[in-house]
Structure 1
Amino acid sequence: MQKLISITAISSISPLGKSLDDIWKSYLNNQHCITEKTFGNKHALIAEIPKDAKKEITLLRKSDAKYKSLDETVLFAIYASRQAIKQANWNGSDNFGINIGSSRGATQLFETYHKEFLEKNKAKTLSSPTTTLGNISSWVAHDLQTQGPEISHSITCSTALHAMLNGIAWINSGMCNKFLVGGSEAPLTPFTIAQMQALKIYSKETGDFPCRALDLNKTKNTMILGEGASIACLETGKKDNALAIIKGFGYATEILEHNISISSDAQCFQKSMQMALGDLNPNEVDVIVMHAPGTIKGDLSEYNAIEKIFCNKTPSLTTNKWKVGHTFGTSGALSIEFAVLMLQHQKFIGIPYLENQETPKKIKNILVNAVGFGGNAVSILLSK
């Protein structure tokens, strides 16, 4: 880290709700947000945004004729971005940067357009511009009327934390003093669900907790997809209105043996966590918000990596995927939000089905992890 960077606002729309108050209330109960939905002639467990949040997205779509043709990934991002800059008291004239990414992008629209193409052998006029990856940040910039730099990217499930890395880099370079970063994902579509099921990592559990993220004794994969967007406002320096300070960051890419593989001790996470810690004594980390997607190998390899880095004293471990599912490119940003809320409220949120979870005596430093297909790990160290 060259400069201290403040998170001055964070906003999301997810299965947890659409306001920080609602989201925190949801974290305080032991209920998950997972339901069953029919896709064609098949059923799948998913975590979708609640009805009142869906109404807000419908209103947003109807508010501008140009928005009627946009994918939900874009609308989710616009909605969360509006709330974030309002909270941070930013204006479009600030010309802040924007980096909002997505793992899958406009998959709902793409599937619809492709189905029509197969039926009619002809593509719709807007089928290309509304499904490009750069579609998210450019529409957010249009909606917020800012003329700063805009970046869109996909780095699978670590996309949102890579957006945060980009924001940190731009601010440290002096090319920008404010950056809007995050991720947006609307993957609850027949083809996306089928892809995850084909990998044999999707949950078929029927118990009280269908996603058993961080349960290291599970014998079946239990990943479940969720949807939503999460956006953070980054500013240079330590601000009076800071929700949290970015104290360190780390990243690493692992050499893969398979398209979705990760080493048994997640060497990419070991490197990213070590880099994020910098000179900080590992014993000073109070909580780690793990990526923990709910798969057997994914959860265990990250845990093994943590044990290697924090060999003297393992911090309190948690994740939110048992509650909201895996939101792909948004997941890292939702984990940042989760960490910020724990810092703000000074309360550790554990996992209800895990026994003897260690609760930290204080919450000053939280490490947040994310990794995706391709072995691209990111770790962000947050401080109160």
Structure 2
Amino acid sequence: MPGRNRRRGRFEAAITGLGMMTPAGTGTAASWKGIRQGAGTEAVKVPELADIAADFVCRVPGFDPVEVLGRRRAGQFDRSSQLLLAAAIEAVADSGLDPQTWDGARVAVVIGNGIGGAQTWETQHRRLLDSGSRRVSPRLIPMLSANMAAGYVSMEFGAQGPSMVTATACASGTTAIGTARELLRSGACDVVITGGTEAPLTPSLVSGFSQMGALSKRTDDIRAASRPFDADRDGFVAAEGAAVLVLERAEDARARGAGIRAMVSGYGASADAYHPTAPDPECKGAALALRAALRDADVTAQEVDHVNAHGTATLINDATEARLIHGVLGDRPLVTSVKGVTGHSLSAAGAIEAAVSALTLAESFVPPTANLESLDPEIELEVVAKEGRWMPVEVVVSNSFGFGGQNAVLVLTRA
């Protein structure tokens, strides 16, 4: 029977498949387990970063691209594409759809990716400087280009529908999922493979974030370094990761008897038009996106049970997002940031958090915010800490914000 949140005029995109490669675990089950436990930041020291203030990052533990793709194929992809393909293979298998029998012309791909093949670029640039241009790989361009994140997924599954990459910085994964839902609504396709990926853990990029003052310098306790909403937070921990969702129109998914994790029921996007890296302290642009997502989902602020926050653990961003949530949604919804466990995987973050939001709805469990010991007294929210909460969850908001004032918000509802 339709749930109490199903509205006649609302367009619902059913999430029928999930795939996750995160610092919390390799695969959806392992990632969800780590996030549910909320034990702390899965960070590791990196010798190549020894000369900067933040010499640690979050990697996907135990990920072996050769095991997933084979040795020959794995060597053809940048780390960001390896993670993405692994997540996509898991998500499509989870959906129960068969790429051998589906109509590829009706399958679209939308992936969030802001930086592209960062590790390939840095490796090949070093080779150019050390050994000359003849030693640069002929695969450099297809391994580097950001659009290839979608291109490789399309090739993997014979998806011949619209194929694109969204690049809205740390909002990219969320923008991709919102765009994917719009393709379904328009009738341009029947299935969309969507999500986000990023593997930015190179010396130059981590150094760049460190020089900006964006990264935590808690080198003496890296497991407690990422502290969203905590009074002692001092920056984010750079991470890699990928997450993929398979979306279908709700009626199509029900007709084939698919297992539906949750519905993507609303999407809103906006720009701050304020500053290259800092959020608008008055939250005007972000509020536009949040209110647009609520309208699109046909839900009121009072109906939102949970917010999966962007929650980067930086001083300004957490405080600004807290003002946004309190100003638009009040103090009713429980709030969580999973970045206390996963670190911040940039373009992949929104997709990872959308997948977590779907699992929260499916299992009626709100995960905790790791490393939250003392809530910043200026943050007027009920942030879940220490242990997760078992509770009925019908409506979840998932926020993402990026450099350039990019704002993207999803509303997910129970299937």
What's the counterpart of residue 38 of structure 1? 47
What does residue range 50-69 of structure 1 map to in structure 2 within 5 Å? 50-51=61-62, 54-55=63-64, 57-63=65-71, 65-69=72-76
Aligned letter for 1:213? P
TM-score, with normalisation over the residues of structure 2? 0.86
What's the counterpart of residue 83 of structure 1? 90
2:245 maps to 1:232: yes
Offset of 1:340 from its aligned partner? 1.3
What does residue range 69-218 of structure 1 map to in structure 2 within 5 Å? 69-92=76-99, 93-95=102-104, 96-122=107-133, 123-205=136-218, 206-207=220-221, 209-215=224-230, 217-218=231-232
What's the counterpart of residue 3 of structure 2? none
C-alpha separation in 2, matches of 1:345 and 1:262:
33
Residues 6-44 of structure 1, C-alpha deviations (whole Å, 9 max, x = no match): 111111111122333222321232312122222254361
Residues 24-77 of structure 1, C-alpha deviations (whole Å, 9 max, x = no match): 3212323121222222543612111112xx22x1323534x3541310111111
What's the counterpart of residue 268 of structure 1? 285
C-alpha separation in 2, matches of 1:23 and 1:263:
32
Listed as ranges, the gaps of 5+ residues in structure 1 are none
Offset of 1:256 from its aligned partner? 2.0
Higher mean C-alpha deviation, range 174-183 or range 33-42: 33-42
Asked if the contact 1:45–1:203 (Cα under 8 Å) also holds between the matched residues in 2, the reply is no
C-alpha separation in 1, matches of 2:383 and 2:332:
12
RMSD in angstroms over aligned alpha carbons? 1.9
Asked if the contact 2:279–2:320 (Cα under 8 Å) also holds between the matched residues in 1, the reply is yes
Offset of 1:269 from its aligned partner? 1.8
C-alpha separation in 2, matches of 1:340 and 1:130:
31
Asked if the contact 1:133–1:153 (Cα under 8 Å) also holds between the matched residues in 2, the reply is no
Higher mean C-alpha deviation, range 361-370 or range 141-150: 141-150
CA change 1:40–1:319 in 2 (3 A) is closer
What's the counterpart of residue 6 of structure 2? none
Asked if the contact 1:72–1:186 (Cα under 8 Å) also holds between the matched residues in 2, the reply is yes
CA change 1:286–1:2 in 2 (3 A) is closer
Aligned letter for 2:365? K
What's the counterpart of residue 294 of structure 2? 277
What's the counterpart of residue 319 of structure 2? 300
CA change 1:145–1:76 in 2 (3 A) is same
Corresponding residue pairs, total = 376
Q: Which residue among 10, 13, 16 is the counterpart of 1:5?
A: 13
Asked if the contact 1:316–1:360 (Cα under 8 Å) also holds between the matched residues in 2, the reply is no
Identical-residue share of aligned pairs (%): 20
Asked if the contact 1:214–1:318 (Cα under 8 Å) also holds between the matched residues in 2, the reply is no
Aligned letter for 2:283? A
C-alpha separation in 2, matches of 1:83 and 1:94:
20
CA change 1:152–1:357 in 2 (3 A) is closer
TM-score, with normalisation over the residues of structure 1? 0.92
2:342 maps to 1:335: no
What's the counterpart of residue 351 of structure 1? 369
Asked if the contact 2:49–2:56 (Cα under 8 Å) also holds between the matched residues in 1, the reply is no
What's the counterpart of residue 27 of structure 1? 35
Listed as ranges, the gaps of 5+ residues in structure 2 are 1-8, 375-381
CA change 1:94–1:221 in 2 (3 A) is farther
Higher mean C-alpha deviation, range 362-371 or range 29-38: 29-38
What's the counterpart of residue 49 of structure 1? 60
Asked if the contact 1:286–1:360 (Cα under 8 Å) also holds between the matched residues in 2, the reply is no
Corresponding residue SS for 2:35: helix
